[in-house]
Chain A
Amino acid sequence: MQTSSSTQTIEENELDPRSKLCIVFALSSVAVFVQKIWLLALILMLGMVLTYLLGENLHLFKRFGRIIWLFVGIAVIQSIFTPEGIPLIAIGKIRLLTVGGLEKGVCFLLRIMAIIVPASIMISTGTREIIQGLVQWKVPYEIAFMVSLAIRFLPLLSEEIKDTFIAIQLRGIELDKIPLGKRLRMYSYLFMPVLSGVILKARELSTAMETRAFRAFPRRTSYRVLKLQNQDYLVMGMSLCFVIVVLTINFYYKGGF
C-alpha cells in the first residue's frame, strides 16, 4: 500500500502521533495520581518543556486567568474548613488562609495545569494522523475516530456539560439543597448525556464523511503508512519508565511534602 511519493509529507524526524499520545497519556495520567507538590511541579515543568520542544506554543496559559480565582477560592475554603498549619490571614477566630489551605490550592492549580498543558501537544497533530496511527495498532476505526474527535472537541464539551447541568436542574433538582454525598452521585449522572453527545457527534460526522465518499482512512489510496522509528520506540519506552518511576516515588518516598 505504501506509495513511494507520499502526498502528505511529514518531516522525517517528526514523532509518530502514537508516540505523542503516549507522552500526553503518561504525563496527564501521572498528574492525576501524584500527591506531592514538588513532584507535581516537576511533572508540569517537564510537560511544558516537552510541549515547547514539540513545537507547540503555550498559548493555553492565557486561559488560566479564570482558573486562578478557582484556585484562590479552593485555598480559602480549605483553610476555613480544614485549618491545618499556620494561619497566614485570619479575621478574629476564622482562619481565612492557612499554610495547609494554600498548599491544597497550589496542588490543585499544578494538577490542572499538568493535565492540560501536555494535551495541547495533540491539538496540532492532524486528526487523520491520530486515527491512522491508532488504526494501524488494530484499534477499531470507529474508536480511533472517536478518540481523535474527543481530542478535537474537548472545548465543545464544556458547552455540552453546561446544557446537561441545565437539563438536570430543570427536572426539579436544586443543586444547592442536595447534601454532599447525594450530590456526588448526581454528578455521576452527568456523564451519560455528555458521553452520548460525543459519540453521537462522532457518528454523525463519520456518516457525513462517508456519504461524501470520504470513507475511512484505510481505504483511501493517497495516504502514507505511518511507521514507528527508533525514536518512537525510545519515546514510548521512556514514557512507560516515567510513569513507573514517578508513581514509585509518589508512593514510597516518605520524606518532604
Chain B
Amino acid sequence: MLGYSDKQQAFIEVNKIAYTYPQGTQVILDMTTKFYPQQFTAIVGSNGSGKTTLGKLLAGIFKPTSGQVLIAGKLSTRLKLGEIGQKVGYLFQEPERQIFAPSVREEIGFVLNFRGVSEREIAEKVAKMLNLFHLAELKDEYPFRLSRGEKQRLALAAILVNEPIFLILDEPTTGLDLHRREELSQILQELKLQGLGLVVISHDEDFVNANADRVLEISGGEIIADQQLHPNDRGE
C-alpha cells in the first residue's frame, strides 16, 4: 500500500474534465478539483445533475472526453480497471450489478481467491467483514434474496475486504434504516481515521451533515459550491 505521510498529496486529481455520453448528452462541462486521503467529501446535487457520471469518472470507469483524471498520480486513461480496483473501492448505485456469488460468504471471499490469498487468510477476513456488517447470520444466504439494505451492506463488505485506500460510494444510504445508517457512519469514520479518503455521493442531508468534511455541490455540469464543513488541519 502507498503511504501518505504528506497529507497535501491528493489521491485523485481532476483537471478541467468534460464528459459527453456516446449518445451525445453532455453531462460534465468543466470541473477541476482534488480529493485527499483522510477526507470525507460529499457530492450533492439534484437528480440528473451528473453525480453518478462524475463518480464513474473519478473511478476511471468512464474516461473524460477532455481534461484529465489522475488516480494516485497516474492518468485514468492509462490504468486498467483491475489496477484501479486494487486501490479504489467503488460502490455502484445499483447493488445488484456487483453481486456475483451464490452465497454471502463466497461473495465477500471470491475475489481474494482469484488474487491468490490463502484459504485461511480468506476465512479470517471474511469473518471480520461478516461481523462488521452484521451479516454473519446470513452468511449462507443466497444474495439475491437479501433486502436492498442488506445487499448494500454486502456489496460494501465485498469492496472493503480488498482493503482499498480510497472509496467512492454512490448513494450508499439508499435502503438503510436510521439505525443502519448510523452504523455505516461509524464504519466510514473509522476507515477515515485509518487514513482512507472517501467520496460519497448522497442526497441524504442528515448523513452528509453528520459525516462530511467537505461538500461539493454540482449543477449544470459544473461545481457550484465547494464548502469545508469541519475545517481540519490541512489549512486550505
**Which chain A residues have a beta carbon within 8 Å of chain B's beta carbons?**
160, 163-164, 166-178, 182, 186, 189-190, 192-193, 196-197, 199-200
CB distance from B193 to the nearest CB of A (A): 23
Determine whether the beta carbon of A186 is less than 8 Å from that of B85. Answer: no
Given the known inter-chain contacts A186-B114, A189-B110, A196-B144, please indicate yes or no for A169 contacting B100, CB distance below 8 A: no
CB distance from B179 to the nearest CB of A (A): 26
A176–B80 Cα gap in the complex (Å)? Answer: 10
Determine whether the beta carbon of B97 is less than 8 Å from that of A164. Answer: yes
A225–B88 Cα gap in the complex (Å)? Answer: 56
Partner of A171, one of B61, B85, B144: B85
Partner of B101, one of A174, A192, A200: A192
Determine whether the beta carbon of A166 is less than 8 Å from that of B81. Answer: yes
Interface-centre pick from B59, B88, B97, B100 (highest chain A CB count, 10 A): B100
Partner of B82, one of A164, A173, A196: A173
CB distance from A66 to the nearest CB of B (A): 16
Determine whether the beta carbon of A169 is less than 8 Å from that of B101. Answer: no
**Size category of the binding interface on chain B:** 20 to 34
Chain B residues within 8 Å of A166, by CB: 61, 81
Partner of A174, one of B83, B98, B99: B83
CB distance from A160 to the nearest CB of B (A): 8
Chain A residues within 8 Å of B83, by CB: 174
A219–B114 Cα gap in the complex (Å)? Answer: 50
CB distance from A177 to the nearest CB of B (A): 7
8 contacts between A and B (CB under 8 A): A166-B61, A170-B61, A170-B81, A170-B90, A173-B82, A175-B82, A189-B110, A192-B102
**Which chain B residues have a beta carbon within 8 Å of chain A's beta carbons?**
59, 61, 80-86, 88-90, 92, 96-102, 110-111, 114-115, 144, 158-159, 162
Chain B residues within 8 Å of A186, by CB: 114
Determine whether the beta carbon of A172 is less than 8 Å from that of B86. Answer: yes
Q: A169-B80, A170-B85 are in contact. List 19 more A-B contacts (CB 8 A).
A: A160-B97, A166-B61, A167-B92, A167-B98, A168-B98, A170-B88, A170-B89, A172-B85, A172-B86, A172-B115, A173-B114, A174-B80, A175-B82, A176-B80, A192-B99, A192-B100, A193-B98, A199-B144, A200-B96
Chain A residues within 8 Å of B100, by CB: 164, 168, 189-190, 192-193
**B96, closest chain A residue (CB):** A196
Chain A residues within 8 Å of B97, by CB: 160, 163-164, 167, 193, 197
